[in-house]
């Protein structure tokens, strides 16, 4: 296979996984919601994309609707679980992912059941090489990623983000200060699910094939490793984590194809993941990139005031 | 007669067989400092938590103005103007002191998802005003030099002050303070009470639990004494001090 296509493919995957890790970072990093069922919302996005594209909806509408349908599913799942303690939420969404997988697996009429089904790509240009195809996908994926990143950045550096972080720190205290934690959490859960659904749609149209076995819990944990390594509570950290983990993942595939090794590198990568997560949690539990302050005008105002006071005093 | 701001009628709260609060009746009228004292374990903090919706009252009714608040959840009670401060400060540890204060700000437009994301202009001015207000309160409590530090790095006394600051930031009608002077040096403790006294003369109403009677009795104009879940004495500080059973249950001989 063309090495350049490998590289471009790698870049596309970083983009898609960055969207997923941004979404988990929103839920876990900022709001403290342990979503161990991320894969469920990726699945909803991917299958919505397939169903919608089959009935002839244009791709941009497909992607928007992927996000929307996933958000609705996320919101509905969140309703009974958000009042539970964090560990129960984790178990409920984890099993929700498995249930969804079993449904699409056994209901063959939805999308080919166990056999899976081909998905048409978002943008098809006739007679171009796979390099150009990959470039087009890079454009599409990174456009979506920048929308997600801008949204996450502005939202988390606003009074809303401050409240979300406060609820993560101490939900009782936040509730006592008039913040309706159930509502805030449902919103964040829906928003995170929307991003995951968008990622799922992009994934389906890029791979051009979906089957239930692509949506195993391992995908959820891969995204978790990205967020934990990169730095929960920092959007750039989430993207860095996505880059690192995808590098190991894709790197293992490339090594498998080009090098003759005594062991299978794709098994080796799980060992690397394990070591990576232990090292990070031991020596840098806040992740590679630390959470930053909430940057709003209040901060500028106060730091400005402080400097003027200090000047006056000196 | 003037309508009381807060009225409790026969309020009880029990944990299993233990009546932490047992058929309590009390009135808080607007303005001034209202004290609540009693030995440890007499149910003072439980009474506060019951009023504020953190515990649900098992019996009895609680009225704020004319409205029954016994069945409301904490954020609805906050919305009415009753603001809690915790005895053991509950701060947002990784957030800065300023952000801790800002979270407590009342009626911030930017607290809603849609406004924060799409209508950023709507709350920028309010954000600056709230920041100024937060600074004023922090200066009052003498922790303004810590404005940028994470709340988790504060010392015990500073945490206490920030907890009070959050309470003041919430523009309360009735502020509940659970031992505001505990763990604070005597000079600052008095200063806190003086500041609260000033605010109360401007219309704030405070309900305070405090073991440092020399402070509380200087500032409070009405005191309830609790023992074993019940209000046993009520009156002005002078009347309470003269009551012999006050010595029996609280001060000792």
Residue B76 within a domain: yes
Taking 70 as the threshold, does the pLDDT of residue A66 lie above it?
yes
Amino acid A314: pLDDT? 46
Nearest C-alpha of chain B: how many angstroms from A226? Answer: 22
Q: How many domains does chain B have?
A: 1
How many Cβ atoms sit within 10 Å of the Cβ of residue B237?
Answer: 18
Residue B110 within a domain: no
Strands (DSSP E) contained in A126-239 are: 209-210
CATH number of residue B242's parent domain: 3.40.50.300
> Rounded to whole angstroms, what are the CA distances from A178 to A174, A250, B53, B66?
7, 47, 12, 21
Confidence of residue A28 (pLDDT cuts 50, 70, 90): very high
Residue B147 within a domain: no
Amino acid A142: pLDDT? 95
Query: With contacts defined as CB-CB under 8 Å, which chain B residues touch A151?
Result: 117
Q: What average pLDDT does chain A have?
A: 87
Nearest C-alpha of chain B: how many angstroms from A43? Answer: 26
By C-alpha distance, which of B77, B75, B81 is closest to B62?
B77
Which of the residue ranges A129-138, A221-230, A294-303, B213-222 would you say has the lowest mean pLDDT?
A294-303
By C-alpha distance, which of A111, A148, A126 is closest to A19?
A148
Higher pLDDT, residue A24 or B70: A24
Confidence of residue A306 (pLDDT cuts 50, 70, 90): low
The ipTM value here is 0.87
Residue B195 within a domain: yes
Encode pLDDT of A209-222 as tens digits: 999 888 988 899 99
Boundaries of every domain in chain A: 3-313
Taking 90 as the threshold, does the pLDDT of residue B109 lie above it?
no
Taking 90 as the threshold, does the pLDDT of residue A312 lie above it?
no
Contact A177 B104 (CB under 8 A): yes
Residue range A48-54: mean pLDDT, rounded: 91
Contact B54 A176 (CB under 8 A): yes
Residue B50 within a domain: yes
A&B contacts, CB < 8 Å:
130
Q: For residue A259, is it left (φ>0), alpha (ψ between -120 and 50) or beta?
A: beta
Encode pLDDT of B43-93 as tens digits: 888 998 999 888 888 888 898 888 888 888 889 999 888 998 888 889 999
Looking at domain A3-313, its CATH class is mainly alpha
Q: Is the dihedral of CA A190, A152, B74, B40 positive or negative?
A: positive
Confidence of residue A198 (pLDDT cuts 50, 70, 90): very high
CA dihedral A298, B195, B220, B231 (to 10 degrees): 30
Question: Among all residues of chain B, which has the CA nearest to that of A300?
Answer: B128
A172 in B contact zone (CB under 8 Å):
yes
Best residue of A159, A300, A306 to probe chain B, by most B CBs closer than 10 Å: A159
Best residue of B99, B122, B135, B169 to probe chain A, by most A CBs closer than 10 Å: B99
Encode pLDDT of A252-297 as tens digits: 877 777 777 777 777 788 888 888 889 998 998 888 888 888 887 7
Out of A109-113, A123-127, A174-178, give the one with best mean pLDDT.
A174-178
Residue B112 within a domain: no
A165 in B contact zone (CB under 8 Å):
yes
Contact B103 A179 (CB under 8 A): yes
Residue B120 within a domain: no
Residue B102 within a domain: no
Best residue of A162, A167, A174, A231 to probe chain B, by most B CBs closer than 10 Å: A162
pTM: 0.87
């Amino acid at each position: 296979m063309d090495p350049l296509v490998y590289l471009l493919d790698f870049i596309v995957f970083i983009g898609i996984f960055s969207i997923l890790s941004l979404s988990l970072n929103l839920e876990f990093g900022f709001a403290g919601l342990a979503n161990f069922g991320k894969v469920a919302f990726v699945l909803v996005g991917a299958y919505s994309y397939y169903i919608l594209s089959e009935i002839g909806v244009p791709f941009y509408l497909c992607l928007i609707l992927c996000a929307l349908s996933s958000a609705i599913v996320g919101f509905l799942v969140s309703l009974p679980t958000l009042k539970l303690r964090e560990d129960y939420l984790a178990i409920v969404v984890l099993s929700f992912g498995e249930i969804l997988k079993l449904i699409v697996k056994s209901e063959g009429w939805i999308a080919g059941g166990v056999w899976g089904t081909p998905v048409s790509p978002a943008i098809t240009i006739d007679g171009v090489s796979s390099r150009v195809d990959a470039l087009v996908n890079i454009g599409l994926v990174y456009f979506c990623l920048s929308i997600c990143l801008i949204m996450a950045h502005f939202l988390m550096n606003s009074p809303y983000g401050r409240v979300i972080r406060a609820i993560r720190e101490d939900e009782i205290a936040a509730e006592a200060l008039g913040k309706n934690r159930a509502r805030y959490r449902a919103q964040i859960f829906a928003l995170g699910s929307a991003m995951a659904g968008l990622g799922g749609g992009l994934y389906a149209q890029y791979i051009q094939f979906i089957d239930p076995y692509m949506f195993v819990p391992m995908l959820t944990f891969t995204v978790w490793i990205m967020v934990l390594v990169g730095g929960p509570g920092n959007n750039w950290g989430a993207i860095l984590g996505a880059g690192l983990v995808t590098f190991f993942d894709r790197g293992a595939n490339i090594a498998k194809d080009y090098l003759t090794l005594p062991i299978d590198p794709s098994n080796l990568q799980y060992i690397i993941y394990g070591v990576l997560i232990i090292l990070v949690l031991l020596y840098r539990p806040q992740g590679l990139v630390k959470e930053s302050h909430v940057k709003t005008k209040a901060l500028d105002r106060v730091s400005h005031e402080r400097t003027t006071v200090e000047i006056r005093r000196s | 007669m003037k309508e009381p701001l807060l009225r409790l009628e026969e309020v009880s709260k029990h944990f299993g067989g233990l009546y932490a609060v047992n058929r309590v009746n009390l009135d808080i009228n607007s303005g001034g400092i209202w004290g609540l004292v009693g030995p440890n374990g007499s149910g003072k903090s439980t009474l506060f938590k019951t009023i504020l919706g953190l515990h649900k009252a098992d019996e009895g009714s609680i009225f704020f103005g004319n409205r029954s608040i016994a069945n409301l959840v904490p954020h609805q009670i906050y919305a009415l103007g009753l603001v809690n401060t915790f005895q053991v400060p509950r701060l947002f540890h990784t957030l800065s002191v300023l952000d801790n204060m800002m979270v407590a700000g009342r009626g911030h437009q930017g607290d809603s998802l849609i406004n924060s994301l799409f209508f950023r202009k709507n709350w920028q001015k309010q954000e600056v005003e709230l920041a100024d207000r937060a600074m004023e309160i922090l200066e009052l409590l003498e922790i303004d030099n810590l404005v940028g530090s994470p709340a988790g790095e504060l010392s015990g006394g500073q945490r206490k002050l920030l907890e009070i600051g959050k309470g003041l930031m919430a523009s309360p009608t009735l502020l509940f303070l659970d031992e505001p002077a505990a763990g604070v040096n005597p000079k600052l403790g008095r200063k806190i009470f003086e500041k609260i006294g000033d605010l109360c003369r401007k219309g704030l109403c405070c309900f305070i639990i405090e073991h440092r009677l020399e402070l509380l009795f200087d500032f409070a104009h009405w005191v309830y004494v609790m023992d074993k879940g019940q209000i046993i004495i009520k009156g002005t500080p002078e009347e309470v001090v003269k009551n012999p059973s006050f010595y029996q249950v609280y001060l000792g001989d």
